[in-house]
Structure 1
């Protein structure tokens, strides 16, 4: 019986690697998968591609390594930092949050005095690293440096709270699937992609190079189970979600039905997902060359793009079970 690998999940979720700076997480993932596949390589854009050879159809699985961040754009005379967003950063979530830079410098996000909370926007926020002057700040930080939200990864028997669950949890499911799976008739490409948060860029180039017959993305999705939350038929703890659509893709019926069939056949709980915003790597994969039938296996997650993204342990475990069956069997 599978037991959640808590230490690996914590390591993945707390490794600094915002979009465009995925070197550290790529190294962690490569060390986990290199002995499980026939070849591992990094393409020109930085995607990590683990190839488990087979004689059947090419199946590309993609989970993105990057996560959201804040890039320094200006340092004022008193040493406070202004920033631009890398990916979806919410002003209301960001206020008073701790951040950490690649060199270990820690700061906190503050806000200018506002007449009304309605006036809150990213350009009203700044990062305080404790510097007393521009010169002191420049000894620690340069223009263009990137920081990320800084918080712990906490795991108990039922749930996980962590920064960067989007999409380290997808990467985790892929790694654990490689460890759990048996023989496959498919020619499998496990892609750990870069720069998803800024436009699905890594998946686009990886898919072009691989030219797969089918594609499945692994990513988080929102839930509709919080008080007065969005009207969405996905909830925490009810199983992995099989996507029908989001703003980047209408999932191919052949792939969607195959995923549902494998869930039913193996008594794996699942949900159907219609997301009215956002997108995943499948949005880029399915438009590659002359087209790639694609789907998405989603892990229900509360508080996406915050310091405490929340997943249910049972959903993670069932996502691994389902992905194992998806890679072991052929899409007819």
Structure 2
């Protein structure tokens, strides 16, 4: 596994980049440069998603993460004021008075800062538009986010303006690097998508393009809202489902099997299991189209920057990030065994039935009506 210093360096560089739905170019450029540097083949599809192909073999698994985070796009700018379209799920109560930063659409440099003065919502109560009071210069097409710390480490906690889902991107990139460095040739794809926060737009483009064979097994790698029963620092979460769907039983059984075997060999490895229904992840659109899907989550503090009372930085535990990389690599290595844990479970049930089932058919049970 990569040294912690290398992982920290990657996280600092990636999490410091500006991003928002439809404005992922700076994250995309960074990921493409990293992929080139380590010699991993990739291409961009017609929607701007990055598709990495590595390895060989019959079974194929695709690890998916998205390059955006909730944010906004400037649609009109004037002296000291700007109108913006908002993208992403954040409760309306957090907006008024919240501080924002605006980035140049081509430079990625901060060009203005301000506060939210007014919002408008759709009939479902979701924020769609904002009026901003700003200092600095901006233009139509620029984009922005909450004005928060780009990256800060406090002991084992990483705080950032947007962990969701740049941490997932860092996990997949780190796992691909490790597989290549170890010479593991198992076939795997890494997929980095766009505009997930506005309704899985890049993911839907991937599905409609038919690029991934129907036999591809999908693993969504996300940061997901920490819920009761899940703790930061407790290790990666095998995601049993999300807000919309439950994931494929074979994938869950396989993930649990790999995690338990890994825990036997590495005592310090810990993992958690839960339905992470704080939101919907990219596994669900694939599952609804018939793919075998599952999810691994890094527990997330301040999901979508929603603190107890006001907007705040998201936070993840470094141990959880490392654990997700470790588990993801192990699953790819053992993907040829995908069906085995389910088959063993079925055999165990069959053995129990053969041993005890006949007792239910015995005539003398004292159960006559």
TM-score, with normalisation over the residues of structure 2?
0.77
- Cα deviation code 1:91-137 (max 9, x no counterpart): 4434332312225212121436xxxxxxx995896322226xxxxxx
1:238 and 1:270 in contact (8 A); partners too: yes
Computed over aligned residues only, the root mean square deviation of the Cα atoms, in angstroms, reads 2.4
More helix by share: 2
Q: 1:6 to 1:194 in 2, by over 3 A?
A: same
- The answer to whether 1:169 aligns with 2:167 is yes
CA shift for structure 1 position 209:
1.0
Listed as ranges, the gaps of 5+ residues in structure 2 are 119-124, 264-268, 306-311, 340-369
Q: 1:269 to 1:73 in 2, by over 3 A?
A: same
Q: Which residue of 2 aligns with 1:39?
A: 41
Q: Which residue of 1 aligns with 2:358?
A: none
Q: Which has the higher contact order (CA 8 A, sep 6+)?
A: 1
CA distance, structure 2, for counterparts of residue 282 and residue 184 of structure 1: 25
Alignment of 1:83-232 (within 5 A): 83-94=84-95, 95-102=97-104, 103=107, 104-111=110-117, 126-130=131-135, 140-152=137-149, 153-181=151-179, 182-184=182-184, 186-207=186-207, 208-211=210-213, 212-224=215-227, 232=228
Q: Which residue of 2 aligns with 1:316?
A: 321
- Cα deviation code 1:270-327 (max 9, x no counterpart): 1112133421111122233xx1110000000010111410001111111111111011
1:57 and 1:213 in contact (8 A); partners too: yes
CA distance, structure 2, for counterparts of residue 144 and residue 278 of structure 1: 28
Q: Which residue of 1 aligns with 2:244?
A: 248
1:170 and 1:219 in contact (8 A); partners too: yes
Range moving further from structure 2, 84-93 or 248-257: 84-93
CA distance, structure 1, for counterparts of residue 139 and residue 91 of structure 2: 23
TM-score, with normalisation over the residues of structure 1?
0.85
2:224 and 2:297 in contact (8 A); partners too: yes
Q: Secondary structure at the match of 1:130?
A: strand
Q: Secondary structure at the match of 2:57?
A: coil
Q: Secondary structure at the match of 2:63?
A: strand
Q: Which residue of 2 aligns with 1:259?
A: 255
